[in-house]
Amino acid sequence: MKNKLWTILAFPLFGMAIAACSGSKSTGSNAGEPALKDVFKKDFQIGAALNGSQIEEKDPQADAVIKKHFNVLTPENIMKCEIIHPTLDKYDFTLADKLVDYAAKNKMQVVGHTLIWHSQLSPFVRRMQNADSVKQFFNNHITTIAGRYNGKLLGWDVVNEALNEDGTMRKTIFLDKLGDDYVTEAFRLAQQAAPNTQLYYNDYNNEQPQKRAGCIALIKKIQAAGVRIDGVGIQGHWHLGRVPLADIEKSIEEYAALGMKVMFTEVDIEVLPRNFKGADVNQRMASDPKLNPYSNGIPDSILQKQAQDYANLFKLFLKHKDKISRITFWGVNDGQSWLNGWPVRGRTNYPLLFDRSFKPKPAYYSIIATKK
Ligand code: XIL
């Protein structure tokens, strides 16, 4: 009788202790580990980019990790023009609506990615020859999509990657047909259609001095036109042993001085060889076995080095947590990262915090340790 009473009393307590440890009710493969979003709750939001099957909840293991660790989500592809606006008169909101519902159901927020970008455009846009049709597309696209999700998203990457490495404006169909002010115009339209959504400019390498200067000029131009811009996203596609901490710190300070929320929006630290910096999705390299050294597994020494890079990065983020609102990883686990297919197809890359079986890597533990 005594034993039975003990079991009845102790079992619920034991159950509660497990739930408290895991930080959620999920039974993911890392159920005993602290949730990233809880560890950094007082510092910044922690996000992940989700692919289509994750949004459709077709991947139970990913689902457990997403629900446990992240409080803000970015669609990796499904809000890009080629998916959400496939032909001139047709929008397809199926997956975008699902993402918004999924986030609401799980008390997470969503950042829309992205309204205006020169890549992953639908073919009908690429074919446009005259300025009037581009202008019509531009107005319609921004107004329709931003309007549909007004107040349902935390923020929008209104314009993505408008700058060259030297800080000048990138030559795109928008610059070509609409002229220099198209970025300001995109923010103006987004502001009208989505008055209750934050508006961001997003780019890669915009922590580098020349591109940063261009980005600052762009922000000042938008502000001078009396148009709202709330933040700047530094994508953060960096390389093992070469995370530019000093440039990142300067960028955080300089962007924040303009009143910008600073966000790291697509973080990954890749470990494979590459002969250029940044993340231009149109830049590619030919396959070569020498470029794929860890196809059968990665040495622990590399993972430890990566953990050190991530720790240094998060120490810097914590130092400036008053200026940083969000850190988003570009993917959930290593097997799902875009870096397995870019810039070389068919590689085995290891850029994120969770391995191919969703187990936390040394990088995960090193990030948690920055809080101790
Ligand atoms: C990438 C996606 O991850 C890939 O699945 C897709 O094939 C190409 O685009 N900068 C961005 C992201 O702003 O949208 C890109 O995402 C990665 C670089």
CA of 278 to the centre of ligand 1 (A): 12
Cα 149 from chain centre: 18
Q: What is the pTM of this model?
A: 0.92
The Cα–Cα gap between 43 and 26 comes to 24
Return the bridge partners of 94, or none. Answer: none
Catalytic residue status for 249: no
Q: Report whether residue 203 contacts ligand 1, using a CB cutoff of 6 Å.
A: no
Q: To test the ligand 1 pocket, which listed residue (281, 328, 330, 342) has its Cβ within 8 A of the most ligand atoms?
A: 281
The Cα–Cα gap between 210 and 218 comes to 13
Beta-carbon contacts of 7 under 8 Å, excluding residues fewer than 6 positions away, are none
CA of 195 to the centre of ligand 1 (A): 27
Cα 358 to Cα 28, 62, 65: the distances in Å are 8, 7, 8
Q: To test the ligand 1 pocket, which listed residue (82, 338, 340, 352) has its Cβ within 8 A of the most ligand atoms?
A: 338
Q: Report whether residue 280 contacts ligand 1, using a CB cutoff of 6 Å.
A: no
Number of domains in the chain: 1
Return the bridge partners of 201, or none. Answer: 159, 232
What is the full DSSP assignment across 309-328? Answer: HHHHHHHHHHHTTTTEEEEE
pLDDT at 276: 84
CA of 165 to the centre of ligand 1 (A): 18
Return the bridge partners of 73, or none. Answer: 48, 110
Segments of the chain with pLDDT less than 50: 1-29
Give me the CATH number covering residue 87.
Answer: 3.20.20.80
Catalytic hit among 161, 185, 254, 270 = 161
Q: Report whether residue 157 contacts ligand 1, using a CB cutoff of 6 Å.
A: no
Shortest-distance Cα residue to atom 16 of ligand 1: 76
AA letter at 258: L
| Residue 127, domain extent | 3-276+285-369
Cis peptide preceding 114, ω within 30 of 0: yes
The Cα–Cα gap between 257 and 216 comes to 10
Shortest-distance Cα residue to atom 5 of ligand 1: 338
Burial 150-170 (b: 16+ CB within 10 A, else e): bebbbbbbbbbbbbebebebe
pLDDT at 275: 85
pLDDT at 30: 58
Shortest-distance Cα residue to atom 4 of ligand 1: 338
The Cα–Cα gap between 309 and 52 comes to 29
Q: Report whether residue 82 contacts ligand 1, using a CB cutoff of 6 Å.
A: no
pLDDT tens string 293-329: 999 999 999 999 999 999 999 999 999 999 999 999 9
Catalytic residue status for 254: no
Q: Report whether residue 266 contacts ligand 1, using a CB cutoff of 6 Å.
A: yes
The Cα–Cα gap between 265 and 111 comes to 10
Q: Report whether residue 160 contacts ligand 1, using a CB cutoff of 6 Å.
A: yes
Please tell me what DSSP assigns to residue 90.
B
Catalytic hit among 33, 76, 266, 270 = 266
The alpha helices in the chain, defined as continuous H runs, are 2-22, 36-39, 52-55, 60-69, 81-84, 94-105, 123-126, 131-148, 173-178, 182-193, 209-224, 245-257, 300-319, 362-369
